[in-house]
Structure 1
Amino acid sequence: MTILRPLSFLLPESAGTKIALIILNRPLDPSLTTKLWKKSVLTAATDGAVNQIGHCFSDKKEEFLPNLISGDFDSADPETLEFYKSRNVEIVPTPDQDETDFTKCLRLVCNRVNSAQVSSIVALGGFGGRLDHSLSNISSLYTARELSSVPVMLVSRSSVACLLGKGQHTLLCDTGLEGDWCGLIPIGCPADHVTTTGLKYNLTDQRMAFGELISTSNSIVDAQVTVDTDQPLLWTVGYKTGH
Protein backbone atom coordinates (compact mmCIF):
# COMPACT_ATOMS: atom_id res chain seq x y z
CA MET A 1 0.00 0.00 0.00
CA THR A 2 1.40 3.38 -1.05
CA ILE A 3 0.17 6.50 0.74
CA LEU A 4 0.63 9.76 -1.13
CA ARG A 5 -0.50 13.32 -0.50
CA PRO A 6 -0.07 14.66 -4.05
CA LEU A 7 -0.53 18.40 -3.36
CA SER A 8 1.39 18.60 -0.08
CA PHE A 9 4.23 20.42 -1.84
CA LEU A 10 1.88 23.38 -2.42
CA LEU A 11 1.15 23.90 1.26
CA PRO A 12 2.69 26.93 2.99
CA GLU A 13 6.36 26.73 3.96
CA SER A 14 5.27 26.62 7.60
CA ALA A 15 3.80 23.14 6.98
CA GLY A 16 7.36 21.84 6.96
CA THR A 17 7.16 19.93 3.67
CA LYS A 18 10.50 19.90 1.88
CA ILE A 19 11.01 19.18 -1.81
CA ALA A 20 13.66 18.92 -4.48
CA LEU A 21 12.83 21.30 -7.31
CA ILE A 22 13.67 20.85 -10.99
CA ILE A 23 13.07 23.86 -13.24
CA LEU A 24 12.26 22.90 -16.84
CA ASN A 25 12.50 25.13 -19.90
CA ARG A 26 9.06 26.72 -19.75
CA PRO A 27 7.97 30.28 -18.81
CA LEU A 28 7.80 30.62 -15.03
CA ASP A 29 5.15 32.09 -12.79
CA PRO A 30 7.08 34.25 -10.27
CA SER A 31 4.71 33.59 -7.37
CA LEU A 32 4.57 29.80 -7.77
CA THR A 33 8.30 29.53 -8.48
CA THR A 34 9.20 31.58 -5.42
CA LYS A 35 6.92 29.49 -3.22
CA LEU A 36 8.42 26.22 -4.39
CA TRP A 37 11.99 27.53 -4.32
CA LYS A 38 11.66 28.44 -0.63
CA LYS A 39 10.53 24.88 0.17
CA SER A 40 13.35 23.27 -1.79
CA VAL A 41 16.41 21.67 -0.20
CA LEU A 42 17.92 21.29 -3.67
CA THR A 43 17.08 23.24 -6.81
CA ALA A 44 18.21 22.15 -10.27
CA ALA A 45 17.73 23.71 -13.70
CA THR A 46 17.81 21.96 -17.05
CA ASP A 47 19.71 23.69 -19.84
CA GLY A 48 17.44 26.44 -21.25
CA ALA A 49 15.63 26.72 -17.93
CA VAL A 50 18.45 29.05 -16.84
CA ASN A 51 17.07 31.55 -19.36
CA GLN A 52 13.62 31.23 -17.80
CA ILE A 53 15.00 31.83 -14.29
CA GLY A 54 16.88 34.87 -15.55
CA HIS A 55 13.76 36.32 -17.18
CA CYS A 56 11.56 35.57 -14.19
CA PHE A 57 13.92 37.04 -11.60
CA SER A 58 15.90 39.54 -13.65
CA ASP A 59 16.24 41.96 -10.72
CA LYS A 60 16.75 39.21 -8.09
CA LYS A 61 19.16 36.85 -9.82
CA GLU A 62 21.47 36.71 -6.82
CA GLU A 63 18.59 35.44 -4.65
CA PHE A 64 17.66 32.62 -7.00
CA LEU A 65 20.81 30.62 -7.64
CA PRO A 66 20.12 26.94 -8.38
CA ASN A 67 22.30 24.31 -6.74
CA LEU A 68 23.05 22.70 -10.08
CA ILE A 69 22.48 23.16 -13.80
CA SER A 70 22.62 20.24 -16.21
CA GLY A 71 22.09 19.59 -19.90
CA ASP A 72 23.83 19.54 -23.25
CA PHE A 73 23.61 23.35 -23.21
CA ASP A 74 22.23 23.79 -26.69
CA SER A 75 19.51 26.11 -25.30
CA ALA A 76 21.13 27.98 -22.41
CA ASP A 77 22.17 31.55 -23.12
CA PRO A 78 26.01 31.57 -22.83
CA GLU A 79 26.08 34.83 -20.86
CA THR A 80 23.46 33.58 -18.42
CA LEU A 81 25.32 30.31 -17.99
CA GLU A 82 28.54 32.22 -17.37
CA PHE A 83 26.80 34.28 -14.69
CA TYR A 84 25.89 31.13 -12.79
CA LYS A 85 29.38 29.72 -13.24
CA SER A 86 30.79 32.89 -11.70
CA ARG A 87 28.54 32.31 -8.67
CA ASN A 88 29.96 28.79 -8.18
CA VAL A 89 26.76 27.02 -9.22
CA GLU A 90 27.54 23.39 -10.06
CA ILE A 91 27.43 22.94 -13.84
CA VAL A 92 27.06 19.33 -15.01
CA PRO A 93 27.32 18.65 -18.77
CA THR A 94 25.08 15.75 -19.82
CA PRO A 95 25.63 15.36 -23.58
CA ASP A 96 23.97 11.92 -23.94
CA GLN A 97 21.29 12.31 -26.62
CA ASP A 98 19.52 9.04 -25.75
CA GLU A 99 17.77 10.73 -22.82
CA THR A 100 16.09 14.10 -22.40
CA ASP A 101 17.58 16.86 -20.28
CA PHE A 102 14.82 16.24 -17.74
CA THR A 103 15.64 12.53 -17.36
CA LYS A 104 19.35 13.25 -17.05
CA CYS A 105 18.66 15.91 -14.44
CA LEU A 106 16.39 13.51 -12.56
CA ARG A 107 19.28 11.07 -12.29
CA LEU A 108 21.48 13.74 -10.74
CA VAL A 109 18.79 14.89 -8.31
CA CYS A 110 17.89 11.34 -7.25
CA ASN A 111 21.54 10.72 -6.46
CA ARG A 112 21.56 13.73 -4.14
CA VAL A 113 18.29 13.42 -2.20
CA ASN A 114 16.26 10.66 -0.58
CA SER A 115 12.90 10.19 1.12
CA ALA A 116 14.36 11.18 4.49
CA GLN A 117 15.18 14.63 3.13
CA VAL A 118 12.27 15.43 0.80
CA SER A 119 8.67 14.30 0.35
CA SER A 120 8.70 14.76 -3.43
CA ILE A 121 10.69 15.87 -6.45
CA VAL A 122 8.77 18.64 -8.20
CA ALA A 123 9.36 19.33 -11.89
CA LEU A 124 8.06 22.80 -12.66
CA GLY A 125 7.05 23.30 -16.28
CA GLY A 126 6.09 19.68 -16.90
CA PHE A 127 3.20 20.56 -19.22
CA GLY A 128 2.38 23.16 -21.85
CA GLY A 129 4.06 24.16 -25.06
CA ARG A 130 5.10 21.30 -27.32
CA LEU A 131 3.09 18.11 -26.93
CA ASP A 132 6.11 15.89 -27.59
CA HIS A 133 7.93 17.55 -24.69
CA SER A 134 4.96 16.98 -22.38
CA LEU A 135 4.79 13.32 -23.38
CA SER A 136 8.52 12.85 -22.91
CA ASN A 137 8.22 14.33 -19.42
CA ILE A 138 5.53 11.79 -18.61
CA SER A 139 7.78 9.05 -19.98
CA SER A 140 10.49 10.24 -17.57
CA LEU A 141 8.16 9.40 -14.68
CA TYR A 142 8.60 5.74 -15.58
CA THR A 143 12.38 6.08 -15.43
CA ALA A 144 12.10 7.92 -12.11
CA ARG A 145 10.49 4.86 -10.48
CA GLU A 146 13.74 2.95 -11.12
CA LEU A 147 15.89 5.73 -9.66
CA SER A 148 14.26 6.56 -6.34
CA SER A 149 11.32 5.88 -4.05
CA VAL A 150 10.67 9.64 -3.86
CA PRO A 151 7.56 10.51 -5.91
CA VAL A 152 8.03 12.86 -8.85
CA MET A 153 5.39 15.50 -9.58
CA LEU A 154 4.98 17.22 -12.94
CA VAL A 155 3.59 20.70 -12.37
CA SER A 156 2.12 23.40 -14.58
CA ARG A 157 0.33 26.60 -13.59
CA SER A 158 -2.92 24.76 -12.91
CA SER A 159 -2.36 21.00 -12.81
CA VAL A 160 -0.20 18.28 -11.28
CA ALA A 161 0.51 14.74 -12.44
CA CYS A 162 2.33 11.76 -10.96
CA LEU A 163 2.67 8.10 -11.81
CA LEU A 164 0.99 5.44 -9.68
CA GLY A 165 2.70 2.05 -9.97
CA LYS A 166 1.08 -1.35 -9.85
CA GLY A 167 -0.72 -2.08 -6.61
CA GLN A 168 -2.81 -0.28 -4.02
CA HIS A 169 -2.59 3.46 -3.43
CA THR A 170 -4.20 5.84 -0.97
CA LEU A 171 -4.23 9.46 -2.15
CA LEU A 172 -4.79 12.00 0.61
CA CYS A 173 -6.73 14.83 -1.03
CA ASP A 174 -7.17 16.97 2.08
CA THR A 175 -4.98 20.02 1.51
CA GLY A 176 -7.86 22.30 0.52
CA LEU A 177 -5.96 23.09 -2.68
CA GLU A 178 -7.50 20.35 -4.80
CA GLY A 179 -9.32 21.70 -7.85
CA ASP A 180 -12.63 20.62 -9.31
CA TRP A 181 -11.30 18.01 -11.72
CA CYS A 182 -9.01 14.98 -11.75
CA GLY A 183 -8.09 12.16 -14.10
CA LEU A 184 -6.68 8.63 -14.07
CA ILE A 185 -4.97 7.74 -17.34
CA PRO A 186 -3.56 4.39 -18.59
CA ILE A 187 -0.85 6.17 -20.54
CA GLY A 188 1.86 3.50 -20.54
CA CYS A 189 -0.21 0.43 -21.42
CA PRO A 190 -3.72 -0.89 -20.84
CA ALA A 191 -4.71 -1.76 -17.28
CA ASP A 192 -7.08 -4.70 -17.05
CA HIS A 193 -8.10 -4.40 -13.40
CA VAL A 194 -8.67 -0.97 -11.85
CA THR A 195 -10.78 -0.25 -8.78
CA THR A 196 -11.19 3.18 -7.16
CA THR A 197 -13.03 4.83 -4.31
CA GLY A 198 -13.49 8.49 -3.41
CA LEU A 199 -14.20 9.73 -6.94
CA LYS A 200 -17.42 10.94 -8.51
CA TYR A 201 -17.10 8.23 -11.16
CA ASN A 202 -15.50 5.17 -9.58
CA LEU A 203 -14.20 2.04 -11.29
CA THR A 204 -14.83 -1.50 -10.11
CA ASP A 205 -12.33 -4.03 -11.48
CA GLN A 206 -12.59 -2.38 -14.89
CA ARG A 207 -10.27 -2.25 -17.88
CA MET A 208 -8.73 1.06 -18.95
CA ALA A 209 -7.06 1.67 -22.31
CA PHE A 210 -6.78 4.32 -25.00
CA GLY A 211 -9.57 3.80 -27.50
CA GLU A 212 -11.64 2.32 -24.68
CA LEU A 213 -12.29 3.63 -21.16
CA ILE A 214 -10.15 6.33 -19.61
CA SER A 215 -11.06 8.49 -16.62
CA THR A 216 -10.99 12.18 -17.52
CA SER A 217 -13.12 15.07 -16.24
CA ASN A 218 -13.62 13.13 -13.03
CA SER A 219 -13.72 14.78 -9.61
CA ILE A 220 -12.74 14.08 -6.01
CA VAL A 221 -15.63 13.57 -3.57
CA ASP A 222 -13.76 12.23 -0.51
CA ALA A 223 -10.64 13.44 1.26
CA GLN A 224 -9.18 9.97 0.71
CA VAL A 225 -9.06 8.41 -2.76
CA THR A 226 -7.97 4.81 -3.27
CA VAL A 227 -6.66 3.29 -6.49
CA ASP A 228 -5.97 -0.41 -6.97
CA THR A 229 -4.40 -1.16 -10.36
CA ASP A 230 -2.56 -3.96 -12.13
CA GLN A 231 -0.58 -1.52 -14.32
CA PRO A 232 0.88 1.99 -13.85
CA LEU A 233 -1.60 4.85 -14.17
CA LEU A 234 -1.09 8.58 -14.45
CA TRP A 235 -2.92 10.52 -11.73
CA THR A 236 -3.60 14.16 -12.59
CA VAL A 237 -5.47 16.81 -10.63
CA GLY A 238 -6.13 20.51 -10.88
CA TYR A 239 -5.15 22.81 -8.05
CA LYS A 240 -6.35 26.17 -6.84
CA THR A 241 -4.04 29.06 -7.60
CA GLY A 242 -3.58 32.24 -5.60
CA HIS A 243 -2.68 30.54 -2.29
Structure 2
Amino acid sequence: MIIHILAGGPTDHHPDLALYEKEEVVWAAVDRGVYHLLQKGIGPYAAFGDYDSVTDDELQWMKQQTNLQIVPKEKNETDLELAINWAVSQNPKCIRIFGATGGRLDHALANVQMLVKGLQKPIDMQLIDHKNEITLKRAGTYSIAKSDAFPYVSFLPLTETVTGITLNGFKYPLLKKTIEWGSTLCISNELVEEKGTFSFATGILMVIRSTD
Protein backbone atom coordinates (compact mmCIF):
# COMPACT_ATOMS: atom_id res chain seq x y z
CA MET A 1 0.00 0.00 0.00
CA ILE A 2 1.13 3.55 -0.79
CA ILE A 3 -0.47 6.44 1.09
CA HIS A 4 -0.46 10.01 -0.19
CA ILE A 5 -1.31 12.87 2.18
CA LEU A 6 -2.23 16.33 0.91
CA ALA A 7 -1.77 18.97 3.61
CA GLY A 8 -3.15 22.49 3.53
CA GLY A 9 -0.10 24.42 2.32
CA PRO A 10 -0.22 26.93 -0.57
CA THR A 11 -1.23 25.35 -3.87
CA ASP A 12 1.57 27.10 -5.75
CA HIS A 13 3.99 24.86 -3.85
CA HIS A 14 2.20 21.67 -4.92
CA PRO A 15 4.01 19.45 -7.42
CA ASP A 16 2.11 18.02 -10.37
CA LEU A 17 0.20 15.38 -8.42
CA ALA A 18 -0.51 13.46 -11.64
CA LEU A 19 3.18 12.47 -11.67
CA TYR A 20 2.56 10.50 -8.46
CA GLU A 21 -0.64 8.74 -9.52
CA LYS A 22 0.96 6.09 -11.74
CA GLU A 23 0.73 3.62 -8.85
CA GLU A 24 -2.37 2.59 -6.97
CA VAL A 25 -2.50 4.84 -3.91
CA VAL A 26 -4.72 5.64 -0.95
CA TRP A 27 -5.30 9.35 -0.52
CA ALA A 28 -5.66 11.18 2.79
CA ALA A 29 -6.00 14.93 3.22
CA VAL A 30 -5.62 17.52 5.95
CA ASP A 31 -7.71 20.64 6.61
CA ARG A 32 -7.70 22.85 3.50
CA GLY A 33 -5.90 20.03 1.70
CA VAL A 34 -9.24 18.19 1.74
CA TYR A 35 -10.79 21.05 -0.23
CA HIS A 36 -7.93 21.13 -2.73
CA LEU A 37 -8.06 17.36 -3.22
CA LEU A 38 -11.82 17.34 -3.77
CA GLN A 39 -11.39 20.19 -6.27
CA LYS A 40 -9.13 17.85 -8.24
CA GLY A 41 -11.88 15.22 -8.28
CA ILE A 42 -10.11 12.93 -5.79
CA GLY A 43 -12.08 11.74 -2.78
CA PRO A 44 -9.82 11.12 0.24
CA TYR A 45 -10.08 7.80 2.03
CA ALA A 46 -9.38 9.66 5.28
CA ALA A 47 -9.71 13.37 6.11
CA PHE A 48 -8.33 15.15 9.18
CA GLY A 49 -8.60 18.68 10.47
CA ASP A 50 -10.30 21.36 12.53
CA TYR A 51 -11.01 23.13 9.21
CA ASP A 52 -10.18 26.58 10.49
CA SER A 53 -8.60 27.38 7.11
CA VAL A 54 -11.77 26.96 5.02
CA THR A 55 -14.87 29.15 4.81
CA ASP A 56 -18.24 28.00 6.12
CA ASP A 57 -19.49 27.53 2.55
CA GLU A 58 -16.43 25.49 1.62
CA LEU A 59 -16.86 23.34 4.73
CA GLN A 60 -20.49 22.61 3.90
CA TRP A 61 -19.54 21.66 0.35
CA MET A 62 -16.78 19.36 1.65
CA LYS A 63 -19.23 17.64 4.01
CA GLN A 64 -21.44 16.86 1.03
CA GLN A 65 -18.51 15.32 -0.85
CA THR A 66 -16.81 13.17 1.77
CA ASN A 67 -16.83 12.01 5.38
CA LEU A 68 -14.85 14.51 7.46
CA GLN A 69 -13.18 13.77 10.77
CA ILE A 70 -13.38 17.11 12.58
CA VAL A 71 -10.95 17.44 15.48
CA PRO A 72 -10.78 20.16 18.18
CA LYS A 73 -8.80 23.29 17.40
CA GLU A 74 -7.00 23.09 20.75
CA LYS A 75 -4.98 19.87 20.80
CA ASN A 76 -1.45 18.57 21.29
CA GLU A 77 -0.81 17.61 17.64
CA THR A 78 -1.14 19.47 14.38
CA ASP A 79 -3.72 18.21 11.92
CA LEU A 80 -0.94 16.86 9.73
CA GLU A 81 0.60 14.91 12.60
CA LEU A 82 -2.76 13.22 13.19
CA ALA A 83 -2.85 12.23 9.52
CA ILE A 84 0.73 10.96 9.57
CA ASN A 85 0.09 8.93 12.74
CA TRP A 86 -2.92 7.33 11.03
CA ALA A 87 -0.90 6.63 7.87
CA VAL A 88 1.95 5.03 9.82
CA SER A 89 -0.55 2.81 11.67
CA GLN A 90 -1.65 1.37 8.31
CA ASN A 91 1.87 -0.06 7.76
CA PRO A 92 2.14 1.06 4.13
CA LYS A 93 5.14 0.54 1.88
CA CYS A 94 5.48 4.28 1.33
CA ILE A 95 3.99 7.59 2.56
CA ARG A 96 4.28 10.71 0.42
CA ILE A 97 3.33 14.08 1.90
CA PHE A 98 2.37 17.03 -0.30
CA GLY A 99 1.29 20.57 0.58
CA ALA A 100 3.41 20.66 3.73
CA THR A 101 5.77 23.52 2.79
CA GLY A 102 5.46 27.09 1.56
CA GLY A 103 3.45 28.50 4.45
CA ARG A 104 4.50 29.11 8.04
CA LEU A 105 8.13 28.21 8.70
CA ASP A 106 7.39 26.63 12.09
CA HIS A 107 4.96 24.21 10.48
CA ALA A 108 7.33 23.46 7.58
CA LEU A 109 10.23 22.65 9.91
CA ALA A 110 8.02 20.48 12.11
CA ASN A 111 6.75 18.67 9.01
CA VAL A 112 10.30 17.83 7.95
CA GLN A 113 11.08 16.55 11.44
CA MET A 114 7.99 14.32 11.35
CA LEU A 115 9.70 12.25 8.67
CA VAL A 116 11.43 10.63 11.66
CA LYS A 117 8.18 8.72 12.22
CA GLY A 118 8.94 6.81 9.03
CA LEU A 119 12.37 5.79 10.30
CA GLN A 120 10.87 4.40 13.49
CA LYS A 121 8.76 1.74 11.71
CA PRO A 122 10.58 1.72 9.19
CA ILE A 123 8.47 3.11 6.32
CA ASP A 124 9.75 5.01 3.30
CA MET A 125 8.37 8.53 3.87
CA GLN A 126 8.87 11.54 1.61
CA LEU A 127 7.91 15.20 1.80
CA ILE A 128 7.46 16.58 -1.72
CA ASP A 129 6.77 20.04 -3.12
CA HIS A 130 7.21 21.69 -6.52
CA LYS A 131 10.97 22.03 -6.07
CA ASN A 132 12.07 19.36 -3.58
CA GLU A 133 11.81 15.74 -2.52
CA ILE A 134 12.95 15.22 1.07
CA THR A 135 13.56 11.97 2.91
CA LEU A 136 15.55 10.76 5.93
CA LYS A 137 17.98 7.85 6.08
CA ARG A 138 19.63 5.91 8.86
CA ALA A 139 23.26 4.81 8.61
CA GLY A 140 23.80 2.41 5.72
CA THR A 141 24.49 2.22 2.00
CA TYR A 142 21.95 3.43 -0.58
CA SER A 143 21.72 3.63 -4.35
CA ILE A 144 20.35 6.76 -6.03
CA ALA A 145 19.32 7.21 -9.66
CA LYS A 146 19.83 10.29 -11.79
CA SER A 147 16.67 12.37 -12.22
CA ASP A 148 16.00 15.07 -14.81
CA ALA A 149 13.17 16.41 -12.64
CA PHE A 150 15.36 16.72 -9.51
CA PRO A 151 18.98 17.00 -10.71
CA TYR A 152 20.48 18.45 -7.52
CA VAL A 153 21.11 16.31 -4.46
CA SER A 154 21.98 17.69 -1.02
CA PHE A 155 22.80 15.88 2.19
CA LEU A 156 22.20 17.53 5.58
CA PRO A 157 22.78 16.05 9.03
CA LEU A 158 19.57 15.74 11.02
CA THR A 159 21.55 14.52 14.01
CA GLU A 160 24.33 16.70 15.39
CA THR A 161 26.92 14.78 13.36
CA VAL A 162 26.86 12.28 10.52
CA THR A 163 30.09 10.33 10.17
CA GLY A 164 31.73 8.39 7.38
CA ILE A 165 29.72 9.88 4.54
CA THR A 166 30.91 8.57 1.18
CA LEU A 167 29.53 9.62 -2.22
CA ASN A 168 30.19 7.71 -5.45
CA GLY A 169 28.95 8.63 -8.92
CA PHE A 170 28.62 12.30 -7.98
CA LYS A 171 30.23 15.42 -9.44
CA TYR A 172 31.76 16.06 -6.02
CA PRO A 173 32.64 12.65 -4.52
CA LEU A 174 33.43 12.20 -0.85
CA LEU A 175 35.25 9.56 1.14
CA LYS A 176 34.42 8.98 4.80
CA LYS A 177 33.79 12.61 5.73
CA THR A 178 32.04 13.86 8.87
CA ILE A 179 29.45 16.62 8.55
CA GLU A 180 27.93 18.56 11.43
CA TRP A 181 25.05 20.99 11.99
CA GLY A 182 25.85 24.21 10.15
CA SER A 183 28.03 22.56 7.48
CA THR A 184 27.29 23.24 3.79
CA LEU A 185 29.83 20.70 2.50
CA CYS A 186 27.15 18.45 1.00
CA ILE A 187 24.84 21.08 -0.49
CA SER A 188 23.93 21.05 -4.22
CA ASN A 189 25.74 18.02 -5.59
CA GLU A 190 24.88 16.31 -8.89
CA LEU A 191 25.04 12.77 -10.19
CA VAL A 192 27.39 12.31 -13.15
CA GLU A 193 26.47 8.66 -13.63
CA GLU A 194 23.02 7.15 -14.19
CA LYS A 195 23.22 5.64 -10.72
CA GLY A 196 25.32 6.54 -7.72
CA THR A 197 25.65 5.47 -4.11
CA PHE A 198 25.86 7.23 -0.79
CA SER A 199 26.75 5.68 2.54
CA PHE A 200 27.48 6.78 6.07
CA ALA A 201 28.40 5.15 9.37
CA THR A 202 26.45 6.96 12.09
CA GLY A 203 23.67 9.50 12.46
CA ILE A 204 20.53 10.41 10.51
CA LEU A 205 20.89 12.05 7.12
CA MET A 206 18.39 14.28 5.34
CA VAL A 207 18.46 13.74 1.58
CA ILE A 208 17.01 16.58 -0.50
CA ARG A 209 16.57 16.28 -4.27
CA SER A 210 15.86 19.64 -5.88
CA THR A 211 15.05 21.29 -9.18
CA ASP A 212 17.23 24.03 -10.65
TM-score tier, shorter chain, comes to: 0.7 to 0.9
Q: 1:214 aligns with which of 180, 185, 210?
A: 185
Query: Displacement, 1:150?
Result: 2.6
3-state DSSP of counterpart to 1:166: strand
CA contact (8 A) 1:20 1:113 kept: no
Residue 211 to residue 159, structure 1, CA distance change in 2 (3 Å): closer
Q: Is 1:50–2:34 an aligned residue pair?
A: yes
Supply the distance in 1 between the matched residues of 2:35 and 2:135 (Cα, whole angstroms): 26
3-state DSSP of counterpart to 2:53: coil
- 1:128 maps to a residue whose letter is G
CA contact (8 A) 1:182 1:236 kept: yes
Supply the distance in 2 between the matched residues of 1:83 and 1:38 (Cα, whole angstroms): 28
Supply the distance in 1 between the matched residues of 2:86 and 2:190 (Cα, whole angstroms): 35
Which residue of the partner structure matches residue 174 of structure 2? 203
Which residue of the partner structure matches residue 66 of structure 1? 44
Deviates more, 1:226-235 or 1:179-188: 179-188
> Sequence identity, in percent?
22
Supply the distance in 1 between the matched residues of 2:15 and 2:152 (Cα, whole angstroms): 23
Residues 52-201 of structure 1: matches in 2 within 5 Å?
Answer: 52-53=36-37, 57=39, 63-91=41-69, 93=71, 97-115=75-93, 120-146=94-120, 148-171=121-144, 173-174=145-146, 176-201=147-172
Q: Deviations over 1:160-218 (max 9, x none)?
A: 111111222222x15x5343311001133221321221211122111111233531121
- 1:188 maps to a residue whose letter is T
Q: 1:33 aligns with which of 17, 24, 30?
A: 17
How many residues get paired? 210
- 2:3 maps to a residue whose letter is A
Q: Which runs of 4+ in 1 moved over 4 A?
A: none
Deviates more, 1:161-170 or 1:127-136: 127-136
3-state DSSP of counterpart to 2:115: helix
Supply the distance in 1 between the matched residues of 2:4 and 2:92 (Cα, whole angstroms): 13
3-state DSSP of counterpart to 1:143: helix
CA contact (8 A) 1:43 1:66 kept: yes
CA contact (8 A) 2:168 2:198 kept: yes
Structure 2 unaligned blocks of 5 or more: none
Deviates more, 1:229-238 or 1:105-114: 105-114
Which residue of the partner structure matches residue 20 of structure 1? 3
- Decide which structure has greater strand share: 2
Residue 33 to residue 226, structure 1, CA distance change in 2 (3 Å): same
Structure 1 unaligned blocks of 5 or more: 1-17
3-state DSSP of counterpart to 1:107: helix
3-state DSSP of counterpart to 2:151: strand
Residue 143 to residue 95, structure 1, CA distance change in 2 (3 Å): farther
CA contact (8 A) 1:144 1:152 kept: yes
Deviates more, 1:156-165 or 1:211-220: 211-220
Supply the distance in 2 between the matched residues of 1:92 and 1:220 (Cα, whole angstroms): 45
Residue 40 to residue 89, structure 1, CA distance change in 2 (3 Å): farther
Query: Displacement, 1:39?
Result: 3.9
